[in-house]
Amino acid sequence: MKQTIVNGVWPTMLTPFTKTGALDEHGLEQLVDWYIDQGVHGLFAVCNSSEMFKLSLEERVRVAEITVQRAAGRVPVIASGHTSERLEDQIEEITRISATGIDAFVLLSNRPAAENESESIWKSNVERLLEAVPDMPFGLYECPVPYKRLMNPALLQWCESTGRFLFLKDTCCNLDEIKARLDTLKGTGLQLFNANAATLLESLKLGAAGFSGVMANHHPALYVWLLENWRTQPEAAERLQNFLGVASGIEGLYYPVDAKYSLQLAGLPVTLTTRVKDAAGFQPHQQIMVEQLKKYSDELFEGLLSKKNASSL
């Protein structure tokens, strides 16, 4: 069993669809290539950004399969996708998606127990899920859908004690809580990946392993630069962090349509079709905002590549 997850940027992948709403397999292959060309360190497929709750099980398996095959030998792939209510159905989902060759299966923290159920029930059900797929490493994702169950330090410590968990996509968006979690996980094999852009640099200073958030669908190369250079170029990193935090306000614009428009601007052959929002609702002024973000991001990245300009972002 693999015992580590590489530090760095793990985008929460989008799912391309054709204009008629079918899974666009060719577009997905091109998207995998684009993420990797941007320098990301791993890929998180079949997540909320992937519209997993709107994908059939066959589609979720296929998305994981294509991502693994396309990324093979280049970057590792993790995936989620257990969207069912019944634990027995989740076991089937986890088993089938795990069989695609992913490096770890990411458990949604809200699936093992209902919102009103206790942590003891949660632990008991997680144990059943782990036993059902004994050779698969796992991760955790504090997914906001259908409800948000945050992982307190004690529960994280319990997860780490199983020896099965390697990855936490942290969505608490609170530096005090992140610090408490990192203090609990220090020296263990369970690493925290921050999903919140505004707190990213400070969380890295506290010991976070990387970034796994939706904004890596807009300008992943900037996050890659930050993760790889924040220690050696701290002043440039601080200036870049200021931009990334403010830019992340676009998360609430019209996601994931806005992110797919950003991919179009980058030259990818993807449609604006999603199963969670009508692309027709993407307003002209919102399109202009994404265009401006893309231009500014590209300019910043070019400046970071130039030693002459790196100090004058």
Query: Nearest CA to 141 among 133, 152, 150?
Result: 150
pLDDT of residue 4: 74
Instruction: Read off the pTM.
Output: 0.96
Average pLDDT over residues 101-117: 98
Q: What are phi and psi of 105, to 5 degrees?
A: -100, 130
For the chain, give the mean pLDDT.
96
DSSP-derived letter for residue 17 is B
Query: Nearest CA to 15 among 2, 5, 6, 25?
Result: 25
Confidence check: pLDDT of 313 > 90: no
Confidence check: pLDDT of 309 > 90: no
The first and second tokens of residue 74, run together, are 């280049």
Confidence check: pLDDT of 308 > 50: no
Average pLDDT over residues 44-70: 98
CB atoms within 10 A of CB 310: 17
pLDDT of residue 307: 57
Burial (Cβ within 10 Å: 0-12, 13-18, ≥19) of residue 46: buried
pLDDT of residue 129: 98
pLDDT in tens, 187-199: 999 999 999 999 9
Torsion of the alpha carbons at 45, 48, 50 and 56, rounded to the nearest 10: 100
With a pLDDT cut of 90, the percent of the chain lying above it is 96
pLDDT in tens, 285-305: 999 999 999 999 999 999 998
Q: Which domains does the chain have, with CATH numbers?
A: 8-233 (3.20.20.70)
Residues in the chain: 313
What lies within 8 Å, CB to CB, of 224 at 6+ separation is 8, 9, 38, 39, 40, 41
Category of 210 on φ-ψ map: left (φ > 0), alpha (ψ -120 to 50) or beta: left
pLDDT in tens, 203-233: 999 999 999 999 999 999 999 999 999 999 9
pLDDT of residue 3: 62
Average pLDDT over residues 33-40: 98
Separation CA 18–CA 160 (nearest Å): 41
Whose structure tokens read 């392993």? 209
